[in-house]
Structure 1
Amino acid sequence: MEIRHLRTLRELRDRGSVTAVAAALHLSASAVSQQLAALQRGFEVPLTEPRGRMLGLTPAGERLAAASDDVIEAMSRAEQAVTGFRAEPGERVSVTAFHSAALAWFPELIATSIADPDGPSVRCRDEDVSISEFVGLAADHDIVIAHRPPASEPWPANRVVAIPVLEEPIAIALRRDHPLAERDTVGLAELTGETWVAAHEGFALEPLIVQALAASEGRRIEITHRVNEFNVVAAVIARTGAVGLLPLHTGLARAFRDEVVLRPIRDVTVMRHIDVLARPEAMTREAVRTIVARIIEIAQRSSGEVAAR
């Protein structure tokens, strides 16, 4: 077996099509198929199978792809043992994050990188994806800042390393002149009849509104508007007096702090996990570990500043 063939098999598992693998590895679709065929010649059991017009992994292929993760990580560690005593000046590290984390942390992360010319150089990109798609982003980025509700399945340990960053409370967002805005906390029973703005179905905050609904003990909560981008949520609340859920530390941009207030929910604890995800071989690089540490430091410091306000 050649490691490039194992890498191709793993990419097929993670990306789902020969075309996507070819684009990621900068190969032709024919070259990808040839590599998979070369790998197959070493095994009697089939590693792939057609699924309509697509090519998928058989159970044996899935097991070999999982073993490939360990092989690729080990090879990366071997390379770093020789070359990775320190991060190379200006070594690029790509970071992607969901919108609110990007808004809260990217400016400081980029500024820190600029101020440290001898350290790694970050390349940042925001992504608005559903919970199930965060793991896939690790195939294209060194670091993925992801979020999920507590009741969701943990990130798959066979595909990514998951490093906790924050457990972020979710609060009720109200226009500043709302009668409940003067309260220290707000009960769901007090929001009966309000018009709600909630996240799209399938995205990380959407299950939290479902949790809030379940805790409302049958009281009517009408979800009228579905908006993922928190700046839009805040703008709608500021203009119309609707209510919604926003993360306590990252959900409210500075531009809306005079118009919108966040209040803890009194009768239920609603929160989300924020984690850094990376492929195991990415974490063997000193530059990646340096940027992960910076992200955690920035996140924890900024959340402390928000709590102190």
Structure 2
Amino acid sequence: MEVHHLRTLRELRDRGSVTAVAQALHLSPSAVSQQLASLQRGVQLPLTEQRGRVLVLTPAGERLADAGGEVLESLARAENSVAEYLLARREPVSVTAFHSAGLAWFPSLIASSLADPDGPAVRCRDEDVSINGFIDLVGDHDVVIAHRPLASDPWPGQRVHVTPVLQEPIDVAIHREHPLAKQQTVSLPDLVGETWVAAHEGFALEPLLVQAMFASAGTPIQITHRVNEFNLVAAIIAETRMVGLLPRYTGLIPYFREHVVLRPIQSLALGRHIDVLTRPEAQSRVSTRSVIERIVKIAEETRRHAEGS
């Protein structure tokens, strides 16, 4: 088996189509098909099958793609073994994050990179995707900062390496002059009749609101606006006295802390996991690990600052 054939099979599993694989590997679709055919000739069981107009992996193909990922990880470690000390640490690292993590952490991450001429240069990009979309980003970026609700299924460990960063509580955001702002906590009955600003369907905070709805014994919650960008949520709350859900550590910039306060909901543990996702071979590089360590440190500083304020 050729290594580039295994890489092509793994890309087909992760990207879902020959066209997408061709674009990612800078090949023609026919070249991708030829590589898959060459790999198939050395294997007795079918690795792919046509499902409608889409070529997908068979169970045998899935197993070989997983094994191919381990081969690529081992090769990446071997390729970095000599250059690791001097060169690999300076290799650029691409980082993508959802909006609130980017706003909270990108400035410090970029500043620390500029202050360390011997370390890796970071290339940052924000991405606003649903929970299921984070796995797809791993194929295009070295480091993906992702989030998911506390009660959700873990990330698929056979496809990505997961580094836990932060477990962040989610609070109700209300205007400082709202009557509920005088309380240290709020209950679900306190929120009956309030008008909500909520995240888009399928995004990480939207299931939390649904959870709150079920926990409130059928009390309807009026969702009037769907907004993913937390500073826009805070701006709406500051002007209209509506309520929403915001993360405790990364949800508010200092300006909005003058107008909006966060209060936990009694007897309801709302929160999210924030993790770094990488492909195993990217995780094996010193430059990538260095950037991940910086992200974890910056996130911890953000948490301590928020809890101390």
Aligning the two structures, in what range does the TM-score lie when normalised by the shorter sequence? over 0.9
> 2:127 is matched with which residue?
127
> 1:152 is matched with which residue?
152
The list of structure 1 runs, each at least 4 consecutive aligned residues, that deviate by more than 6 angstroms after superposition, is none
CA contact (8 A) 1:87 1:286 kept: no
CA distance in 2, matches of 1:87, 1:110: 20
Name the aligned partner's letter for residue 54 of structure 1.
Answer: V
Name the aligned partner's letter for residue 100 of structure 1.
Answer: S
With over 3 angstroms needed to count, the CA separation of the structure-2 counterparts of 1:62 and 1:239, relative to structure 1, is same
CA distance in 1, matches of 2:173, 2:303: 17
CA contact (8 A) 2:237 2:243 kept: yes
CA distance in 2, matches of 1:109, 1:19: 35
CA contact (8 A) 2:3 2:72 kept: yes
CA distance in 2, matches of 1:242, 1:86: 54
Name the aligned partner's letter for residue 276 of structure 2.
Answer: V
CA distance in 2, matches of 1:247, 1:15: 31
CA distance in 2, matches of 1:25, 1:289: 24
User: Which is further off, 70-79 or 251-260?
Assistant: 251-260
Taking the TM superposition and a 5 Å limit, the aligned residue runs for 1:149-298 are 149-298=149-298
Secondary structure of 1:200's partner? coil
Residues 2-57 of structure 1 deviation map (CA, whole Å, 9 limit, x = unaligned) = 00000000000000011111111111111111111111111122111112222111
TM-score (norm. length: structure 2):
0.97
User: Which is further off, 219-228 or 138-147?
Assistant: 219-228
CA distance in 2, matches of 1:296, 1:253: 20
CA contact (8 A) 2:89 2:290 kept: no
CA distance in 2, matches of 1:293, 1:275: 12
> 2:43 is matched with which residue?
43
Residues 118-164 of structure 1 deviation map (CA, whole Å, 9 limit, x = unaligned) = 10000000111111111111111000000001221101110001111
CA distance in 2, matches of 1:83, 1:113: 20
Could you tell me which runs of 5 or more consecutive residues in structure 1 were left unpaired when the two chains were aligned: none
Residues 208-234 of structure 1 deviation map (CA, whole Å, 9 limit, x = unaligned) = 111111222232321221111111111
TM-score (norm. length: structure 1):
0.97
> 2:63 is matched with which residue?
63
- State percent identity of aligned pairs: 65
1:87 CA displacement:
5.0
CA contact (8 A) 1:170 1:271 kept: yes
CA contact (8 A) 2:162 2:278 kept: yes
Name the aligned partner's letter for residue 246 of structure 1.
Answer: L
Name the aligned partner's letter for residue 206 of structure 1.
Answer: E
CA distance in 2, matches of 1:210, 1:278: 30
User: Which is further off, 289-298 or 266-275?
Assistant: 266-275
Could you tell me which runs of 5 or more consecutive residues in structure 2 were left unpaired when the two chains were aligned: none
> 1:17 is matched with which residue?
17
Number of positions where the alignment pairs a residue of Structure 1 with one of Structure 2 = 309
Name the aligned partner's letter for residue 106 of structure 1.
Answer: F
CA distance in 1, matches of 2:233, 2:50: 43
CA distance in 2, matches of 1:213, 1:18: 42
1:89 CA displacement:
6.0
Secondary structure of 1:281's partner? helix
CA contact (8 A) 1:186 1:265 kept: yes
CA distance in 1, matches of 2:7, 2:266: 50
